[in-house]
Structure 1
Amino acid sequence: MTETLIADALAARQADVPIQTRSARPTSFEPADFAAPSAREVNWKLSDLQRLAPLFVDEPAESARAVTVEVDAPAGVHVPSTGLDAPVRGEVFRPEDRPSAIAWKRSEDALHLRLPAGQVLEQPVRVRLHGTDATARSTAHIVIEAERDSHATVVLEHTGSAQFAQNVEIIVRDGASLTVLSLQAWEDDAVHAAAHQAVVGRRASLTHFVVSLGGAVVRVNPSVRLAGEGSHAELFGLSFADSGQHLESQVYLFHEGPATKGNVLYKSALQGAKARTVWIGDVLIGADAVDTDSYEANRNLVLTDGARADSIPNLEIETGEIAGAGHASATGRFDDEQLFYLRSRGISEKESRRLVVLGFLMEIVQKIAVDDVRARLIDAVEAELATMEVD
């Protein structure tokens, strides 16, 4: 009897212990299987739950046109995807939280982009998503399928105002090379939660960008599984948070296959009262991922008092036969030596600070190979810096 009571007590206690590791999180296509998020869960404790609350409601979208979608792609790339059981949809995507399960359920038809096998698309495929109503909830499920030995770039551009829950399912088949850039240039009242899940095949590569500049609350969480031998992923992020903005990314990189390589670099700048960024980076090197090489880093530059940057890198290694693995995180203010160097050459303090911030963020911007997007981001960063005040 005593042993039974102890076992029951331990089971009850374990049931109350929050799941800490990313690989252990439950998945479900049914929103009811996920409780309403609270600050108790490790994946929600740093999020702005109050402003994200509309995305926790499992009801039909309030307006079918709350977010309009425009696709600019070569003929045959945008293919039909009707119904929750449409081909390819759900091949790799498994909702890990309530908003992504709602987005799955309420987006009966997916936007499916199929990049043709063996072809190189010289021009990027562009998907423009524009919110038309800041008070209306909307959802979307997007499938990006890079067929074997294809080479392409897909740009997802978000503008306007909306309450938007979104899934992005990315399949990079053997030998393919895919770049996906998600640009959040929302108006100041938009609320956006997105789950990006990707699987990369044998000798294939994925370059993934998350660029968040606009929106009241933006939460874009990329998850990448390097499943094939010799697969490779580079995950880059850039954000600039102003007063009252909450910009968040929780990154998961799972080295599953042997001889895989991964590199994660996210950078943020923050200015203004209650400007906040959140970055959580989880890397798992699985038991079969021998000869893996992995590194993740997050850098944050706090420009004014009242701003806050949370940065949590995590690394799990299940095999001792790796080429290398590491992680780093740094949050701070201006480098006094850099400022002194610039000011000693006759550059004003305000201009010196502008140059330091610009140089800090350009490391990410310069990696973007789409010329007009890169130029637009430089202009956007410059516009942010024009409002920077010298303490």
Structure 2
Amino acid sequence: MIIYFAGTPYDGVAGTDRQLAERLGDMHPVLYVDPPVSLLTPLLRPHLASAFRGSSLRREADGVWRIRPRVLPAMYRPGMHHVTAMLVRRAARRTARRLARRVGGAAGGGVAGVVVATHSDLLDAVKDTRTVLYVTDDLVAGSELIGLPRQRVAAARDSMAARAGAIAVCSPLLRDQFRERGFATTLVPNGCAPEAYAAIEDEPWPRDVPRFDRPAVGFAGHINARIDLGLLEAIADAGHPLVLIGPHDPGHHPVRFRALIGRPNVYWAGRRSFAELPAYLRTIRVGLTPYLLDDFNRASFPIKTLDYLAAGRAVVSTDLPATRWLRDFPDGRELIRSESTPRGFLRAVEEELAAEPTPELVARRRAYAAGHDWGCRARQLARLVHCDPVSPALEEPAP
């Protein structure tokens, strides 16, 4: 069994943690540990009460079980964060023992490894067990965004890095940062689920999305402080239809965002599930990865870039290190546009809008995405858990 301490709830956005856990579950039983929930949650936030009732062990997918640990109030206050980590480790340890009895022989060997993909120091949940620290973001650079003290996040990262049996990182920049501090790392980037988009052209047109008279541009993801709103405004200013798919952080330029979605050529679909995403991506010709070029984003690996390609759509991204890494693979430079200036970004979008997506081009995009599927990423992570060497061919672009 693998215990996977996630940085995001299982029933939230189907991002890195959930996608990897489900693919790992095809190989080994996985106990997915949600971020903890305060005992006061149902009282202070009644709208979350139903989610809170799901704190006990639940089977979520083939090979994947999930718990949401309950902890004391003020869980991340100074001093209390140590108590929180202790309670989460204890809940995972006890649940793993109970799960092993429930699933019988499949998990009878106990816990094979622990993967920590969150900011809390949870490595010591099970003694004498292989541990993997999986760093999916530069949480030190993003400490203000997640509302935690920078010094504490850095101390937890360094302590876990020094004790982990292996370190996996999600992006080329994170790999370089850890190696500069003397830590050996394995690059396990984000991936995509090509099978989810196999029948995208047969998806019914979403009833809430207008049928524009020209090909549309789209963005899928959280509209928050990571996103360069000015790039979206520039596309709308140029008169291009723009479809926005995903929630908006109320604190991120609320006035500008309301003005943007108030335009007749802009449609905001709001939060949609991963299962609904293919139908909405069907409505666009060009997908956007418009990340601000700050320290936090430079260390990220946006999933959406590969999702657009898996859907057969063109991609225009800002000039992130992860985008450069993807462009170094065969076909990458032709299939992924990367721009460092607002003017270049808009020009690239307009060129891709004008290019007719031939069946051959769509097939190339999908084939490229298929080389970066989540199953491949999960196998890399599983090798680290079991101390097996990871082939460099899985980690680096071919020359």
- TM > 0.5: no
Higher strand share: 1
TM-score by length of 1: 0.30
TM-score computed with the length of structure 2 as normaliser: 0.29
- Greater relative CO, 1 or 2 (CA 8 Å, sep 6+): 2
